[in-house]
Amino acid sequence: MLLGTIALRVGEEIQLVFQCPGREVDAKIEEIKALIGKDNLKLQQSDSHPLNVRSGNSMQPESSNQKQQKMKIIAVYHNKGGVGKTTTVVNLAATFSKKGKRVLASDMDSQANTTFGTGLIKFDDEELDDIKDCNILQVLQSEEFYPISEVARTSAFNTPELDVVPSHIDLMQYESELNQLDYCRLSLLDKLKEVATQYDIVLIDTPPALNLYARIALITADYVLIPSDLKPFANQGLKNVKDFIKKVDAFRRQINKEPLKILGVLACNISTNAAFGKSTFKKRREAITTRYDLLVMENVIYSREVLAKCCEETQVVRVGSC
């Protein structure tokens, strides 16, 4: 009689996860698929992972502490401006939200483009500014107050809605002051831990700079995504990006945090011109790998100039009474 088994190595031991006679395989096929599926095959060995393997075929569900480990923090970063960081953050946030993920976007740029892009800036005059006293600046300034749950606002620009920690232009003038506060480098990280069970994904929009705010974003994140238009200036800036990440990783080691995982370079704002795509674009992609030793993601975000121009042309239609 044939006997089907699934086992897993845990340390130096081999532990039985599943077993059934050959004649029962058809009846238990769904259970077998669940065990060997991509998501469930990675049974982990420590308490910090979603599933723990015990003796026999016992698999215990994750505890509340383990759930906190599931929140993924992604910083979208390049020190070159105008390469699509904010557009990437806003659209990724909307996409993840539509996929059923609980999403938080955090704006770390004093230009506050993500804050504007998600509809949170609703004032035409600074006297009506309702985010000046409750934004990412206060999160970083205060060690005990201004938790994420208090500062985050709900954006109605997307369905389902998503939460956003807004930024403000005042962020620019407080960098020197914050540099004197050692704890501010870890403020965002610590406060995100408090809401780790409330969100699946946190996306951080970063400034186009090698400054304190970019450093805080990279200290906080688990992953970094690098948008780029692949033009010469953006490509040359990748060396600065890699060096900056290396310095941040040195600090992460001091706080027992794993090095940043670089997801890759995301090609953004790429021309749809056929000749450009066959020649220049291909060479620029190859340069990223050969010169800078970075992975270029397969996805490409193309420039839609005609569609962009349509947004600039509006026509007022007045509907009169019959």
Average pLDDT over residues 34-41: 49
Are 176 and 274 members of one domain? yes
Q: Domain range for residue 307?
A: 71-312
Average the pLDDT over each of 179-183, 226-230, 264-268, 273-277 and give the range with the smallest value. Answer: 273-277
Check pLDDT > 50 for residue 248: yes
In terms of domains, do 201 and 279 share one? yes
Does residue 142 share a domain with residue 18?
no
DSSP helix/strand/coil, 205: strand
Could you read off the pLDDT of 95-117 as tens digits, one per residue? 999 999 999 999 999 999 999 99
- Domain total in the chain: 2
pLDDT in tens, 62-94: 444 444 458 999 999 999 999 999 999 999 999
* CATH number (domain holding residue 296): 3.40.50.300
- Distance of alpha carbon 146 from alpha carbon 194, whole angstroms: 12
**Nearest alpha-carbon partner for 217 in 314, 84, 79, 94:** 79
Q: Do 100 and 49 belong together in one domain?
A: no
Residue 51 — pLDDT band, cuts 50, 70, 90?
very low
* Region 225-229 average pLDDT: 96
Phi, psi of 244 (to 5 degrees): -65, -45
**Are 129 and 152 in a shared domain?**
yes
Q: Are residues 81 and 39 in the same domain?
A: no
- Indicate whether 7 pLDDT > 60: no
The burial class, CB within 10 Å (0-12 / 13-18 / 19+), for 47 is exposed
Which of 62, 87, 105 lies at the terminal end of a domain, its last residue? 62
Are 86 and 20 members of one domain? no
Q: How confident is the model at residue 151 (pLDDT cuts 50, 70, 90)?
A: very high
157, 190: one domain: yes
Strands 3-10 and 13-21: antiparallel
What mean pLDDT is predicted for residues 9-35?
60
Q: Please indicate, yes or no, if residue 29 is contained in any of the structural domains.
A: yes
Judge if 51 and 84 occupy the same domain. no
Residue 320 falls inside a structural domain: no
Q: Report CA-CA distances (Å) from 195 to 69, 99, 137, 148, 188.
A: 11, 20, 18, 7, 11
Classified as helix, coil or strand, 275 is helix
* 157 compared with 194, residue with greater pLDDT: 194
**Is 290 contained in some domain?**
yes
CA pair distance 124, 58, nearest whole angstrom: 60
Per-residue pLDDT tens over the stretch 174-220: 999 999 998 999 999 999 999 999 999 999 999 999 999 999 999 99
pTM attached to this predicted model: 0.75
Residue 322 lies in a domain: no
What pLDDT, on the 0 to 100 scale, is given for residue 2? 45
Q: What SS3 class is residue 294?
A: coil
Local structure of residue 182 (DSSP, 8 states): T
**What pairing do the DSSP bridges indicate for beta strands 72-76 and 223-228?**
parallel
Q: How many CA atoms lie within 13 A of 196 on its CB side?
A: 17
Mean pLDDT across the chain: 83
Q: Is 250 helix (H, G, I), strand (E, B) or coil?
A: helix
Residues 34 and 83 in one domain: no
Does residue 37 surpass a pLDDT of 80?
Answer: no
Do 17 and 157 fall into the same domain? Answer: no
Is residue 125 in a domain? yes
Do 26 and 150 fall into the same domain?
no
